[in-house]
Each structure stands twice: as C-alpha cells, then as structure tokens.
Structure 1
Amino acid sequence: MKSKKNSRIIIIAISLSVLIIGASMFIINSVNKAGNVTFEHIHGLGFTGDGEKLLVPAHDGLRIYENDAWEKSKNEPHDYMGFSMTSDGFYSSGHPSPSSDLKNPFGIIKSDDTGSKIEPLALYGEVDFHGMSAGYHSSSIYVINSEPNSIMSNPGLFYSLDNTENWKQSKVENLTGQATTLAVHPDNENMVAMGTNEGVFISLNNGDNFEQALEGESVSALSYTFDEQVMAASMKDKVKLSLINLDSLSVVDIKVPKMESDEYISYLAANPSDVNTFSFTTSENNIYLTQDLGESWNLIVEKGKAVKGE
C-alpha cells in the first residue's frame, strides 16, 4: 500500500506533467490569411453525442470538424482547459476571452456542444484545472488539484458524482510513476484510469486503489471507448496505441501512422456511435481520424493547419 506521503508526491507530479503537456502543443495563428482554420494550444478532443462532430478546444475557442470540413465556432473564443466532452455538451476549466464578462478563471463550467451556453458550476473565478475528466453519460467529474482552494483543502485527486455538488478526495494507492493523464469510464462513475511513465492504472473505486493494466510504457494519453475498453497512447522506442480489455486486461495494438521521431500522441477521443472510429492529436499539432480501427488514417490537421476534405 502506498504511503500518504508517496501519494502526495505522485499527485504533485501529475499536476506538473499536465502543465508540461498542455504547454507543448501550440501554433501561431487561429486563422490564416486564406481563411483556413488553424490551431493554437490544442487542449483536448471529443465527439458530440450523435458522433457527427469532432470538437477541438484551442487557445482562442472551439474548432469543429463535420462532414470532412473544419470551421471555427462562432461563439466567444474562450481558452478552454481540462476539456471533457459528454453526451450533451462538455465540462471545462480555463479562461474567458478578453471580451467576455465571465470571471477568470472558469473553475468548472458546463456548456452545450458549441460553447453558446456556459454554466459555472464550482470554484468559479478561483481555479484553472488543467487535469480534468468526466463520464460521458454520467455526472461524475475527476480533477487533479494542485493547491488548496475553497473546496479542496489540499492537493490531490478529487471527484464529484453529483455534478460538482459534493467532493471527495481519492486515496490514490498503488499508483506508481509520474502520472500524466486521466480518463473516466463513460457510464461507470466509480471507474477512473490514469496513465504514468510506468503504464496504465485502473481504479474501480473512485481512485482509492489502482491496478496496473499496462506495464513498461510511458503513457501520454488515455480514453475509455464505448465497448468496455481503454485506449492508451504510449511512447517507448516508438509511438504505440493500445486497446486494453476491461474484463481480461488483454492488450491489442492498433496501427498508427508514421510520425516524427520525437512526436507523441497528446489527446485521444472515441466516437460514441461507432466503435471503429476514433481520433487523436499529436505534439506536432497533427490530428488523425480513423473509421476502421486504425487500418487506415486520415490526416485532418497537419502542423496546426486544417486539411481540406476531398
């Protein structure tokens, strides 16, 4: 069993790692002179409830991919952090746009799919969470808290099962390595996965105890699928994308497109309406999409610039 001291050290490492990953993904402009959509500070990835749209939060608002084409959201260009897509919108933290009357930072907010209706939920004007994940069909929210605030008295992994009304701190036992990412099961509010530089760890009891599900891999991104698997991106000698069966913990590797030597997968998203469709972003501001479980890939953003569909 991990000591409380070791658990606190791991949580502090989580916070630093999330900040480093978020800061490493950037490009200069939001829209170039030709009007093509581009990306600054990619902060997440997620499919809408109908599976038709892919949303990407950038430094200055949302980008939306639908019918092989990109567009920039017409709503206020907020700087969303800790972005987590759900069946009826998204949870997020971050900062409002300069022209907005909303408080800075966001704390935790809930929005519709496009960011047109924003509801502050907790720690509004107080905290900016970079590490946050929510259940796609549940109201469970998990956050990595880096310092004390008015709700959370110390650093650690905290969770709410009732849309931020009440919070508890996870014990985070049997988690080893430097944690970098987390994901919440779409339906089971008690199941959370965390990735570290030593593998994938899964908890069935709200992060109190973890079991290792993938060893010897430095994990950069995680996402639960909608067919009882965890999708994990890792980097050792090369980039790997693995599917971990939640019942057997068996692992199947998925083909990935060729990448640069130091490029890694930064965010993953599974499509709720098609188990063969998912997408990922990379540290080089590329975004890929597959509709056949990795047998073929479409490059839909290259070096931060949207790729036009044929």
Structure 2
Amino acid sequence: MHDVQVVRDDHSVLIATHTGVWTLGDPFQDDPGPVERVGTGRQDTMGMTLAVDGTVYASGHPAPGEQPELEKPNLGLIRSTDGAATWDPVSLTGEVDFHALSTASTGDGTVRVVGLDSGTSTVLVSDDSGETWSRGATVEARDLHLLDADPDTVVATTPTGLQLSRDGGRSFAPDRGAPALVLVDDERGGALIGIDARGVVWTGTPGTESWDNHGTAPEGVQAMTYVPDDSPGNQPWILVATETGLFTSRDLGASWDAALGADRG
C-alpha cells in the first residue's frame, strides 16, 4: 500500500496500491464491508492525495500493457472527480512519476499541488490544480505535505530529518527542533502529526521545538493519514497502513484497532 486517504463525508478509505485504488467502508462500523477495487483502473498508483473538494489526485505507472506509446511509463498527474472510479490525465503524462503529492487551497480559492518527482527528487509546484508547473527545490524526501492553514509552508521528511519550506517548496531548510519524521500530515491550526522511523507518533508545530511524543504505531507503517473528525460524539483519529493491514487510533497511538487484516476481530 503506497498511500491511504479518508473520504470525509462517509469515512470510507481509499487505498493506493500497485494494482489500482481500492476502497474499504468506514473502519469504525461493525462491518465495513469487503475491500473492493474502485472502477476498473489497475495502474500502479505510487502517489495519491485527496483535495478538500473531494478531488483525488494521483500518479504512478500504467498497468502492464497499457499506454505503450508513452516515452516513459509514467502517468504524470491524473485526476478523479468520482472517488477514483475514473481518471483523467492532467499534465506531465509520460514524463513524471510523483511518489508524494499534497494539495491545499490558496487564498484566492485555487488549488495548489506539490509533488515529488521520483526521477529527479525535485519538488514541482502547481497553482492551477496541476495544469502547469514550476520547479522547486531538490530534496531527498519520503513524504511531502502542504499545510492547510498556510499553503506556502511545505514540510518534507528526509533521511536527515524534517525539512521546512516557507516559500511553497522553492527552497528548504532543516527544521532542527522537529523529530525525524518519516510520514507527516496536518493536525489542525498549523500543527502537524507524524510518525518517526521507530513508529512513535508525534504532534507539534513546524519551525519550533514544541513537539510531544505519544503512542507507537504497529510495526511496518507504510502510509498514514489523520482525520480531524469533529462530529458529535467522535474524536479525531489516525489511520495507518502496514505490511499486514490497516489500523486506526483515536488516542494518538496509545492503542490501535485493526480495520483490515488478520488482526480484525
């Protein structure tokens, strides 16, 4: 599993894999239903992100035998407005394979997209929903994230620690007060939540030394997302994907429940 996203309306889960995008119902339901492929696409979905308006952006490689005309077997940026059932090419087809993608709404209502070109480790930035791009910094990142509260701020997780950009990904500097996160997401109000290489869950504010460690995620985390669920009677929660399944936590990693896999009761 390369990425996981949660649809805010119904808490269904979108799972990016080597064989397309799959879905699971609300993991907090007694029976979330089976895991099913969304649509007929079997593309190798290496990167995926869900915009606030419900648009899904993704990248990766065509399914075996598909689109042989491409100069490189790279999808560029593709977009879905029906929950990943169907996809339309947006830009950079046959050129770029994004392994990390993130979106945020800018002050004028447009959608900013940042992506990490896996071939060059270059951050690419678009201010028109991925139609056109400008080149940003080169950074050896595992994960990229645009802050919802400030789309000029981009955080990148790297082998040497968290890197911070205040100019929309055009330059980065070490965030020396932050833990060495591997995966990162928005918490709320400009704060971050992330997981380090040992699986420890952290929350804090980028650019400061104000960070707190919490619980520990299941072994082998490959992807994570944070859901700020403020509906009555509910709490925010974390969803992680591991080599063996999906797991949820409502207490910042102090305890985990299996949503998918052998451990689900």
Q: Distance in 2 between matches of 1:286 and 1:215?
A: 32
Residue 35 of structure 1 aligns with which residue?
none
Residue aligning to 1:6: none
TM-score by length of 2: 0.79
Q: Deviations over 1:261-280 (max 9, x none)?
A: xx4x3212011434621111
Instruction: Work out which of the residue numbers 77, 87, 98 in structure 2 matches 1:108.
Output: 77
Structure 1 stretches of 4+ moved >6 Å:
99-103
Cα root mean square deviation, aligned = 3.0
Q: Secondary structure at the match of 2:35?
A: strand
Asked if 2 retains the 8 angstrom alpha-carbon contact of 1:82 and 1:93, the reply is yes
Aligned counterpart, 2:227:
271
Give yes or no for contact 1:48–1:86 (8 Å, CA) kept in 2.
Answer: no
CA-CA distance at 1:227 after TM superposition: 3.7
CA shift, 1:214, in A, is 5.2
Give the letter for the 1:85 counterpart. Answer: L
Partner of 2:14: 55
- One-letter amino acid of the counterpart of residue 84, structure 1: T
Aligned residue-pair number: 248
Residue 185 in 1 paired to residue 147 in 2?
yes
The alpha-carbon deviation at position 121 of structure 1 amounts to: 0.6
2:37 maps to amino acid: S
> 1:66/1:160 Cα in 2 relative to 1: closer, same or farther (>3 Å)?
same
Query: Is the alpha carbon distance of 1:234 and 1:184 closer, same or farther for their aligned partners in structure 2, counting shifts above 3 Å?
Result: same
Alpha-carbon contact 2:183-2:224 (below 8 Å) kept:
yes
Q: What's the offset of the Cα at 1:109?
A: 0.7
**CA deviation digits over 1:248-293, x for unaligned, max 9?**
551011212453xxx4x321201143462111123x3432211233
Matched, 1:123 2:85: no
Structure with the higher fraction of residues in helix conformation = 1
Q: Aligned partners of 2:134, 2:207: CA distance in 1, in Å?
A: 27
1:26 equivalent in structure 2: none
Q: Counterpart in 2 of 1:225?
A: 187
Q: Decide which of 102, 117, 131 is 1:133's aligned counterpart.
A: 102
Secondary structure, aligned partner of 1:130: strand
Correspondent of 1:71 among 35, 50, 56: 35
Identity percentage of aligned residues: 20
Higher relative contact order (CA 8 A, sep 6+): 1
Q: Is the 8 A contact 2:13 2:26 kept in 1?
A: no
- Verify the 8 A CA contact 1:244 1:251 in the aligned structure 2: yes
State the SS of the aligned residue for 1:132.
Answer: strand
Partners of 1:121 and 1:74 lie apart in 2 by 20
Q: Give yes or no for contact 1:82–1:133 (8 Å, CA) kept in 2.
A: no
Q: Could you list the runs of 5+ residues in structure 2 that have no partner in the other structure?
A: none
Q: Does 1:166 align with 2:135?
A: no
Contact 2:99–2:118 under 8 Å retained in 1: no
